[in-house]
Structure 1
């Protein structure tokens, strides 16, 4: 999905280091310290091996990256050319959509999450994390974290087709976790962390649905500083392909040669596609109620 070339980017919307340290810690202990609930696009919650004990960019390097990005990421044309600029524009688009939609749909006022692009590893409100964890959301500092090298891995390691909307879906999914944090459904992931019908799977599928809700609602919206074009069928297919590529069954089949539903934390490939499409097609947050769904293979709204 391309941005209108005249869109105005605010590079300060995205940072290049650790989180902002606000919010309430949830979760258990690890090595004498707190391991907080982390909700990632790929791997399970509360126990991610890639949460480590150190790292993060130094302040000088972080400032240099942000200054360079501010010079380079100014317009929608830049967003269509550079991946990090696209993430800035996507964050702004997500802000525009949820600031308008969330109060109308739920009565909750939207609170902007942080967004951090990092390389290798970073410090967060949930501890230090490496890029091996994949994109994730930390509720303790209300920040989405992403190493943009993941987009290459999405194609080379997970077999996704790629494309702009596929990349935008990744950030929209993490924003979906932030919305869940606001409306009170995020905690189900920790209470019931594993299995094909688990709270963790329902949380992840709801985040996919919320990402689809944004994609359908923001496409063609010219009311804000960042304007998105209409979504082509090819772009929609690329986003659905990305959702499929990171399904539990597909990852397990690739990494261990068999599928173990009892270990699911994010949902099967077909489920991730269906729930993204449910949000995209209906434009209704009620269609994203995975917790009431009797059959996660058949979203009631479809």
Structure 2
């Protein structure tokens, strides 16, 4: 998967975050922090299936410069610029599609790209927490080094769409927030394979798939196509990321070897892949009703 070299990136949708030094070994990982935040984090309580400090390590904060991210060619060579390009594409799609499909207007959400640590309306965050969406300030937070961890520790294949899936998933949470799904999920603080937390995460995976279906139609501010048509290899790359952040994979490979579905907060690798594909194959929000089915 690649960006159109001539497409123009909009860096105003992205901020280079910086925060004070925070000790390493934070409160969660990419597959845990979202539910921690949504279902009682930042002052609430959550049940974590293993010690996430064993997976990722945090550090002191520093700013990330996005000024070099000007064109699609930059997005093709740089992880940071690829985040910028993906944010542009995702928001271009949802800017029209959300209103058309649901009647709810989309409101843009900035992404903060930070290194080491940063401050959010949901509390302090370090590299240890992985990418997340904070509904309190409606911003996405991504540590600049996370994609190296996604491949080297979690086992994703390192392809571009594996990285872009992560960004699109977080914007799926923003769409859920606009539609009221996150608020509904807060009423159920349980964990397990059919919990509200799992349904929220699988819905975000599906919404990421919906964007992927339309990604090659998204445009920059001048009407230039942002992304080249996706290939089967691209989709396989996204699926590798979805599998890598499945609860069962995390528990078995990085959390001690014991799979405990009762503590799941995001769903299994198979579920996450299946719901991404459901969105990708249909291209419609209507295919992402994880709250209206018993077949997760």
Deviation, 1:192, is: 2.1
**C-alpha separation between the residues in 1 aligned to 2:130 and 2:81?**
19
TM-score by length of 2: 0.84
For 1:260, the equivalent position in structure 2 comes to 260
For 2:92, the equivalent position in structure 1 comes to 96
For 1:16, the equivalent position in structure 2 comes to 16
Deviations 1:29-72 (A, max 9, x none): xxxxxxxxx99741142247989xxx975xxx64xx43xx31x2
| Equivalent position SS for 1:128 | strand
For 2:79, the equivalent position in structure 1 comes to 83
Q: Is the 8 A contact 1:41 1:173 kept in 2?
A: no
**C-alpha separation between the residues in 1 aligned to 2:288 and 2:241?**
19
RMSD: 2.3
**C-alpha separation between the residues in 1 aligned to 2:200 and 2:72?**
32
Does residue 1:153 correspond to 2:152, yes or no? no
**Where do 1:49-64 residues align within 5 Å?**
57=61, 62=63
**C-alpha separation between the residues in 1 aligned to 2:184 and 2:199?**
8
Q: Is the 8 A contact 1:9 1:225 kept in 2?
A: no
For 1:42, the equivalent position in structure 2 comes to 31
Q: 2:198 aligns with which of 197, 201, 205?
A: 201
For 1:243, the equivalent position in structure 2 comes to 242
Deviation, 1:221, is: 4.0
Deviation, 1:12, is: 2.4
Q: 1:128 aligns with which of 124, 131, 134?
A: 124
For 2:285, the equivalent position in structure 1 comes to 285
Summarize the Cα distance change of 1:226–1:113 in structure 2 as closer, same or farther, 3 Å threshold: farther
For 1:233, the equivalent position in structure 2 comes to 232
Q: Is the 8 A contact 1:40 1:137 kept in 2?
A: no
Deviation, 1:160, is: 1.2
Deviation, 1:186, is: 1.1
TM-score by length of 1: 0.83
For 2:111, the equivalent position in structure 1 comes to 115
Deviation, 1:18, is: 6.3
Deviation, 1:146, is: 0.4
Deviation, 1:188, is: 3.7
- After TM superposition, the structure 1 stretch with the greater mean CA deviation from structure 2, 214-223 or 189-198, is 214-223
Identify unmatched segments of 5+ residues in structure 1: 20-37, 297-302
Deviations 1:135-184 (A, max 9, x none): 10000000000012111111111111121111000010000000000001
Q: Is the 8 A contact 1:42 1:135 kept in 2?
A: no
For these two proteins, the number of residue pairs brought into alignment is 267
**C-alpha separation between the residues in 2 aligned to 1:4 and 1:40?**
32
**C-alpha separation between the residues in 2 aligned to 1:226 and 1:94?**
13
For 1:191, the equivalent position in structure 2 comes to 187
